[in-house]
Amino acid sequence: MIANASSDRLRTRESLSSPTQRLTAEGWYYVLVVAFIIGGAVLREVNLLVLLAGLMLGPLLWNWLLVRWALRHIEASEVPLARVHVGEPLRASWLLHNGDAKLAAWSVVLDEGVRQEGQTAYRRARVVTPCLAPKRSVRVGYKLTFPRRGTYELGPVRISTSFPLGLVRSSAWLRYRRSVTVWPALGKLRPAWHALLRQSQLGQRTAQPRKGRLEGDYYGLREWRPGDSRRWIHWRTTARLDELTVKQFEQRRDEALTLVIDLWAPEDASEDRIAAVERVLQFAATVIQDRRRRGDQEVHVVLHGESRESWRGMLKGALAVRILDALAMARPTSRKTNPLDARDFASMPQRNVIVISSRERPGQIGWVGCEVTWIGPSDYERWFEAPPGETAIAADREPVRAKEEPPKEEQDEQPEVVTEAGS
């Protein structure tokens, strides 16, 4: 799921570094042939070979002049990146603008490095623009698929061309780096999970005082029914229709969710233990997105791992993003501490707590202020269906995959950006 609604807004144009020119592999072969001809002409004193060598140097010089000029007026604008889950495609885009009033840039290649934070190995994604017309902008992009959660760094960007002969390549660099947060993969919640929530909510409603009608949402009018309160009568409509009409309220249930995410693994953790931690994060991310899709939902989420974080409030966009960002960067703790710290629940009304843990339920959990539902590794399959083919260990060996997208003229997609055609 893409979470950034403003991904089409462009940032300020960035100027490229001064272009540099180098011979391509084909160019070196071409130079070797010319050198061989010149050597033969000198040794044999054959004037025709000297003339031939001079003629062959012409295309090389012409190619050098064209590529040297092609990138002098190219500018690039970043299209901000969205957040995605593991396994979901991310479109990484740039807007290329040709500021030259007369000459087009042909066969423009954009390369961008991709690596995960903390690693040194880069993979490069490449996309080719067949033609960048004068005073026009083109959006180029490619799709990335990430194998693991975390933060990835994209950049720097190299823009190059070797048109028309491919003998000399001109390259310019954009020393700009951007990052993208990749959330844990999403699975599927089983019916048992929804039944557990309904049971938990039922327990909360019976344990709390009965709520009044004002906690529902008014959405219409209806005829009077026996048992309706006189306070619900809509007098203006009643007078106009000459029959009792009352306000209709949508019944809202207290669907507050208290969720504790317990990440634990020993220092010399086995592959199964690491996979259990990843499964907990996938489970938790799926729960958060499920609650988010259902509308404004009150949540109290505690993340217990290498660091301890807590969130409380209505599960709208900003809060959900903060929680998922924390899940993307979460690390397990090796200390056997209690995930149910009474300080996190001191100001909360008494309610059921659901713990999703990478370890089985200990004999004593310490805090017993309410009923605790503990979901350990042996219970995952009952409540949660993992993403197909998703394993933490296989993901470690799988590289970032990049797929090129065909370039699109920005005039068709964002006409307000391309305003310089007549200038």
User: Could you list the pLDDT tens digit for every one of the 423 residues in the chain?
Assistant: 444 433 344 555 666 789 999 999 999 999 999 999 999 998 988 889 989 999 999 999 999 999 999 999 999 998 999 999 999 999 999 999 999 999 999 999 999 999 988 787 788 899 999 999 999 999 999 999 999 999 999 989 999 999 999 999 999 998 888 999 999 999 999 999 988 888 766 555 444 443 433 344 555 777 777 666 777 788 888 888 878 888 765 544 445 788 999 999 999 888 999 999 999 999 999 999 999 988 767 888 999 999 999 998 888 778 999 999 999 999 999 998 888 876 666 655 556 789 999 999 877 665 556 778 899 999 999 999 998 865 433 333 345 666 666 666 654 333 222 222 232
- Residue 33: which domain range? 14-184+399-413
Specify if 327 maps to a domain: yes
For residues 36 and 76, state if they share a domain: yes
Q: How many helices (H) and strands (E) does the chain have?
A: 10, 22
Backbone phi, psi, residue 120, to 5°: -105, -20
For residues 193 and 180, state if they share a domain: no
The reported pTM is 0.76
Q: Is 206 exposed, middle or buried (0-12, 13-18, 19+ CB in 10 A)?
A: exposed
Instruction: With beta carbons less than 8 A apart as the criterion, state whether 94 and 79 touch.
Output: yes
For residues 153 and 77, state if they share a domain: yes
Neighbours of 416 (CB within 10 A): 8
Residue 206: per-residue pLDDT: 45
For residues 201 and 279, state if they share a domain: yes
For residues 334 and 276, state if they share a domain: yes
Specify if 380 maps to a domain: yes
Specify if 123 maps to a domain: yes
Instruction: With beta carbons less than 8 A apart as the criterion, state whether 300 and 348 touch.
Output: yes
Residue 416: per-residue pLDDT: 27
Strand pairing category for 257-262 and 298-304: parallel
Specify if 6 maps to a domain: no
Specify if 219 maps to a domain: yes
Q: Kindly tell me the sign of the dihedral angle through the C-alpha atoms of 61, 63, 66, 70.
A: negative
For residues 56 and 160, state if they share a domain: yes
For residues 174 and 288, state if they share a domain: no
Q: Work out how many domains the chain is built from and give that number.
A: 3
